Structure 1
Amino acid sequence: MWGRRLRRAGRGAGRGAEELRARRREREAALRRARRQEQLVSKRLLRDDAAEDGARDGAEVVPGPLSEDEVLQLLRGVQRGSEDRKRCLGRLRWALRDKDTQHKFVRLEGSIRTLTGLFTSSLAELQMEAARCLHELSHSSEPGVAEACLPLTSYLLTYLSGHSVEFTELCLYTLGNLVVESEAVRKQLLPQGIIAVLASCIQSPHEAVLEGLGYVLSQLLQAKEAPAEIIPLVLASALPQHMLRLLCAPSTGLGAAVEFAWCLHYIICSPAGTEALLALGAMPALASLLLSLASEVPQDGSEVPQDGSEVPQDVPEGLELLVCPVLRCLGNLLAEESSCEVQIQDERLLITLFLILQCFLPQHPFIVQEGLWLLNNLTADEPFFCAALLSLDLLPALLQLLPCFPMTTVLALRVLCNVAEKGPEYCQQLHQPALPLLLPTLALPDPEPVGHCLELLHLLFLHCPEATSDFVRMGGPQALERHRSSPELQERAEALLAMLPPPPPPARSPCPALS
């Protein structure tokens, strides 16, 4: 079927290009769905070195698995109103690192009630130690342990408005850990007003609190019920505009900015979220942020490194952690039809992208993939960026990415197809620098990049007939012949062979002179 379409395209260029564009858009829609469904759920554990020393004091046999009697002894120790209670709490926290000990503890009658009493104590030191015990429990991977902590959720929310930054931070990360494993915990927190509490908390001036808040919100936004139950509540609050403001503020620390960027990404995964963020000006704000981040990348004018060298030392540590979700947010915003009216036409975005690609390849290839994904969506339906890619002489840098990594090859070919789709003028500028690099791509064992390569060749042959002669001169027909036996590629290879000019007749030897 594909081959017949190609042959028809040879007779009707407009219709063939449109069919190829439709096929590619279908595949890209599937990729966008897959990308949006990627989950980055994780748990965080806050541990204070000074507190650890106190917890280990006199507890050499801990944190190995404790017997039920030993767990009961620790529980009784924290129940007694003696001066030794804080030390017993420290030992209990150390013991609760063990999975079996966690189960034994939550099964003991009155254990959570005892911790709740200490957690709500007016004695700050006991309250903090009890909070650390709860935090260790929240890190358990067992839903049963998280659900045992259900009675504590309302107190955790209440204490988010406390005056101690350390205590507030601990409560935030405990909440974030609890909502991951247990739907029951999430169902209880929503009616308790967790979204409103977070909207109030985001006005805190403390970096640690903002980062912890972003962690809780990112965990909530990844829940299976988030599109129907959580994202509408978030959109109805002031959280989105505050996150955008803080994300783009130079004073916001890297940790909080990373969390907010991922939160925005999860909101964009919802159609209603995309529309709301576009209305808030997310597109220009994130584009401006990306330009700002690129200004921190060294600009030495060198080519994209191919030798495994490391990222330059003067790149801020952890910058890639923020660049990644910002690229993904922009790429997915551009993927929506509703974003077409607010799409930004700024050549600096292309320069920024290639600076980022140059900086982070090959140490962080995932950044290159995200950058190429954004570049693909910038060039998909917009001649402005296709023309800018060529006029800014960025094509050589893009072609350098073809042989780097399998996914990089596929995405780079997608971008090249986007450019070639724009017609003869674009193909004229593409075919000479790109054609020699397509022959090695045709030799790859993976049918996916080969398939994209065949599509690019079709567009070049369609809009730039002289490319067929160059392709034949480079030995291209032999490269295509290898794919005639492939079920996935056979029709496309045969269709391209049919578009090539016939080989020149063999040169004849001169006739001998007649005597």
Structure 2
Amino acid sequence: MWRRRKLGKKSQTGLEELRAQRRERETALRKARRQQQLISKRLLRDLTDDEDESMEADVQHYVLSEQQVVQLVRDLHHGSADKLQSLIDLRHGLQRKDVQLMFIRTEGSMRVLIGLFTCQFANVQMEAARCLHELSHSDDPSVSKACLPATSYLLTYLSGSSADFTELCLYTLGNLIVESETARNQLLLQGMFPAFALCTQSPHVTVIEATGYALTQLLQAKEASEKFVPIVLESGLLQDILRLLLSDSEDGFGMMIEFAWCLHYIVSSKVNNLLLISQGTVSKLTHLLIKQADAVTKTAFPGIELLLCPVVRCLGNLLAEVDASGNKVQIQDGRLLVALFVFMQQFHREHPFMVRECLWTLNNLTVEDPIICSALLHLNLLPILLQFLDQSKDIILLVLTVLCNIANLGPAYCLPLQVKDIVSTLSHLLGSLDVQVALRSLDLMNVLLHHCPEVVNDILQSTFQIPTAYKDHPEIHQRVQAMLNYCNPMRKEDSRGLPPME
């Protein structure tokens, strides 16, 4: 739940409280998006300065009977003496699912609510908008479907002068976007993209952040790569996304996060990543990460990982692109390497997902790239990389993959690994009870063996560390046999030569 306090006499205190509350909710919502790429709805609720917060807590248990709901609709329709109070009562009731269902089943209810939403009285209009927003947050498809007649009005009001009202309309639209392809198609025909583009020019950060939220909902849709991403790429909206992502403002931190995820979904769609690359997106993201790494080393900024995660992921995915000539993106700025290692060291305890993101990007950086691998070794980053071999399975696999990328470049790149006694470390990993870790360790051993024959004895001895239960595993057997076949000719004069695995 998102609660905001309208700024009144306690404006400075309220502002700090708002920022803290926003960061708390962003952490939970974006954690779901980061880990599972879920489309999540958001709920925007206001606490005015003259409202008692204890009453707001009790609202969760506010109960309306079906007769009371019907009476509220009649009061709103036939000119109750206090329509505003009736709307407030209705909004409180709509925080319950059963009341939502009773409301939409009441004849003429949505027509009345939309009528008040489009009236000329700002306070009534705002309260009706809050009721629509409560309905849009429902997890019942029939409730959200009932809100669809309001979409054209919601889009129209995005050009209004009230930042609070525009923000509420955007979050309501963002909630409705996730419901169905029919809803998204309807919004597309009604001019959704021009309306969003207009909102990205707003002077109000809250409006821009809400626009980013609505866009992320849209760009996650199953049909986004066919219908929506091409429109973003062909219009000026992509430039707006990059401009807002790269802005430098603490007040706009939430906004930057939203547009970072927008860019992530565009990149992940693979509609035209070469266009993004040709427009300098890689260098822009690299510059942003270098800048954020410098900031991280100087001061602790709560929630910064929420921005870094999608940015690092975008860069990693763009680095995996290959053009028609078979060429991939080349980055020759060692500061990016340092930045990735700064993030890994900074977040590996509290936010291990950042280590995975950085290692994935590091993997794409080091594939067949002697310049980057040389920089990694020259900057003495290898010891830090090896430290992560005692982390979780997925992190160990990524570290081993990066080490394979380095070793594949030849003897000169294997030598630093020998100095760090990598064979001993791999022997220990072979003793783990995870087949994938053992396989990746054997892959690295094979590379080392081909480039550095002098490690043959150590490598052969290490195979005894493989758990007995896995010695008959087809892939493990194949890799060990390949090493033995390669080693035995070099050891003809050694009576201790090991026989092939049975």
TM-score class normalised by the smaller sequence: 0.7 to 0.9
Q: Which has the higher contact order (CA 8 A, sep 6+)?
A: 1
In the alignment, is residue 332 of structure 1 matched against residue 348 of structure 2? no
In the alignment, is residue 466 of structure 1 matched against residue 454 of structure 2? yes
Between 1:191-200 and 1:317-326, the stretch displaced more is 191-200
The answer (yes or no) to whether the contact 2:319–2:328 under 8 Å persists in 1 is no
The answer (yes or no) to whether the contact 1:334–1:340 under 8 Å persists in 2 is no
Tell me the amino acid that sits aligned with residue 111 of structure 1.
S
| Whole-angstrom distance in 1 between the partners of 2:391 and 2:467 | 25
| Unpaired runs of at least 5, structure 1 | 1-34, 300-313, 507-515
The answer (yes or no) to whether the contact 2:117–2:128 under 8 Å persists in 1 is yes
| Whole-angstrom distance in 1 between the partners of 2:98 and 2:244 | 41
| Whole-angstrom distance in 2 between the partners of 1:97 and 1:36 | 27
Tell me the amino acid that sits aligned with residue 305 of structure 2.
E
- In structure 2, the residue matched to 1:435 is 423
- TM-score scaled to structure 2, two decimals? 0.86
The answer (yes or no) to whether the contact 1:55–1:87 under 8 Å persists in 2 is no
Question: Residues 52 and 239 (structure 1 numbering): CA distance in 2 closer, same or farther, change over 3 Å?
Answer: farther
In the alignment, is residue 81 of structure 1 matched against residue 79 of structure 2? yes
In the alignment, is residue 137 of structure 1 matched against residue 124 of structure 2? no
In the alignment, is residue 95 of structure 1 matched against residue 61 of structure 2? no
- In structure 1, the residue matched to 2:23 is none
Cα distance, 1:57 vs. partner? 6.5
| Whole-angstrom distance in 2 between the partners of 1:493 and 1:65 | 69
- In structure 1, the residue matched to 2:368 is 381
| Whole-angstrom distance in 2 between the partners of 1:316 and 1:58 | 31
The number of equivalent residue pairs is 456
The answer (yes or no) to whether the contact 2:403–2:444 under 8 Å persists in 1 is yes
Tell me the amino acid that sits aligned with residue 117 of structure 2.
F
Q: Give matches, 1:224-243, under 5 Å.
A: 224-243=222-241
Cα distance, 1:272 vs. partner? 2.8
- Superposed CA deviations along residues 259-297 of structure 1, whole A, max 9, x for unmatched, are 101101111123333123223211100000001110111
| Whole-angstrom distance in 1 between the partners of 2:75 and 2:255 | 39
| Whole-angstrom distance in 2 between the partners of 1:392 and 1:116 | 63
Instruction: For residue 172 of structure 1, give the secondary structure of its aligned residue in structure 2.
Output: helix
- In structure 2, the residue matched to 1:410 is 397
Q: Once superposed, what is the RMSD of the aligned Cα atoms? A: 2.4
| Whole-angstrom distance in 2 between the partners of 1:128 and 1:438 | 64
Instruction: For residue 263 of structure 2, give the secondary structure of its aligned residue in structure 1.
Output: helix
Question: Residues 163 and 279 (structure 1 numbering): CA distance in 2 closer, same or farther, change over 3 Å?
Answer: same
Cα distance, 1:500 vs. partner? 4.2
Question: Residues 152 and 61 (structure 1 numbering): CA distance in 2 closer, same or farther, change over 3 Å?
Answer: closer
| Unpaired runs of at least 5, structure 2 | 1-32, 497-502
| Whole-angstrom distance in 1 between the partners of 2:159 and 2:214 | 15
- TM-score scaled to structure 1, two decimals? 0.84
- In structure 1, the residue matched to 2:210 is 212
Q: Give matches, 1:462-501, under 5 Å.
A: 462-472=450-460, 475-480=461-466, 482=468, 483-500=470-487
Instruction: For residue 123 of structure 2, give the secondary structure of its aligned residue in structure 1.
Output: helix
- In structure 1, the residue matched to 2:124 is 126
Question: Residues 210 and 273 (structure 1 numbering): CA distance in 2 closer, same or farther, change over 3 Å?
Answer: farther
Question: In the alignment, which of 143, 151, 154 is matched to residue 152 of structure 2?
Answer: 154
| Whole-angstrom distance in 2 between the partners of 1:69 and 1:54 | 28
Cα distance, 1:498 vs. partner? 3.9
The answer (yes or no) to whether the contact 1:120–1:127 under 8 Å persists in 2 is yes
The answer (yes or no) to whether the contact 2:397–2:437 under 8 Å persists in 1 is yes
| Whole-angstrom distance in 2 between the partners of 1:239 and 1:225 | 18
Identical-residue share of aligned pairs (%) = 50
| Whole-angstrom distance in 1 between the partners of 2:429 and 2:96 | 52
The answer (yes or no) to whether the contact 2:100–2:143 under 8 Å persists in 1 is yes
Instruction: For residue 48 of structure 1, give the secondary structure of its aligned residue in structure 2.
Output: strand
The answer (yes or no) to whether the contact 1:55–1:91 under 8 Å persists in 2 is no
| Whole-angstrom distance in 1 between the partners of 2:35 and 2:339 | 27
